[in-house]
Amino acid sequence: MHITDDRARAFVSIGFFGPNKWGDQVPGVNPLHDARALTLLDAVINNRLYLELREKRGLLYSCGFEMDMPTHLASGFCLVGLAPLVDKIDETIECALEQLRSIKAKRISQAELDEAKKPLVEFKRTQLHENTSWLYLLQLTQRQPYGFALMHEIPEYYEALTLEDLYDVVDRHIHLDRLWIGVGTSAPDTPSTSDAANK
């Protein structure tokens, strides 16, 4: 999609299906295990995209990755958002896909895991002091019959997650065979107007 504007800009969205909040339920395993491992994976992917696309290659202004894992729907959605330089759109898309494929191929280092885990664990500790977080957990206990097991040692649960946990949820929940890619651009002239002026 292209719109006429006073500035040349671009934005790219790459989407694919993901799991809901409950993932695959396994007897004896915390029902939010998949969601928590995927939340940590979310942080790993965000860090990877920022480092590779912005810091190392200078392809874009900003980037982000998020997983929408609903509690009442059968599946969720994963979305990569990129704001590339207008002359680097194709290269940015290919580089982002390269990083996603790398994650799918289980190429995550222990250093990446540790870097993503530390701020996430601290954030979860902070959430323990927020009433809204406890209300959300209480809502989850009404959805699934697991009671207070969902609330037990939450920061410690994230701290204990390993690379094997991430690789497991990647195998079961991250599928790159059905991608949706949308590109939006803006400039003072539409492509057709610019082309006509140059002829």
**Domain presence at residue 195:** no
**Domain presence at residue 196:** no
**Domain presence at residue 182:** yes
What's the whole-model pTM score?
A: 0.86
What are the pLDDT digits (tens) for 92-104? 999 999 999 999 9
Which strands form 180-187's sheet, in the order they lie side by side? 2-4, 180-187, 9-18, 76-84, 60-68
Give the domain range for residue 70.
2-187
**Domain presence at residue 92:** yes
Q: Which of 52, 51, 53, 68 is nearest to 16 (CA)?
A: 68
Q: Which CATH number do you get for residue 30? A: 3.30.830.10
Using DSSP's 3-state secondary structure scheme, residue 45 falls into helix
**Domain presence at residue 194:** no
**Domain presence at residue 157:** yes
User: What is the tally of structural domains in the chain?
Assistant: 1
**Domain presence at residue 193:** no
Q: Is the pLDDT of residue 151 over 80?
A: no
**Domain presence at residue 142:** yes
What are the pLDDT digits (tens) for 77-130? 999 999 999 999 999 999 999 999 999 999 999 999 999 999 999 999 998 888
CA distance 32 to 40: 12
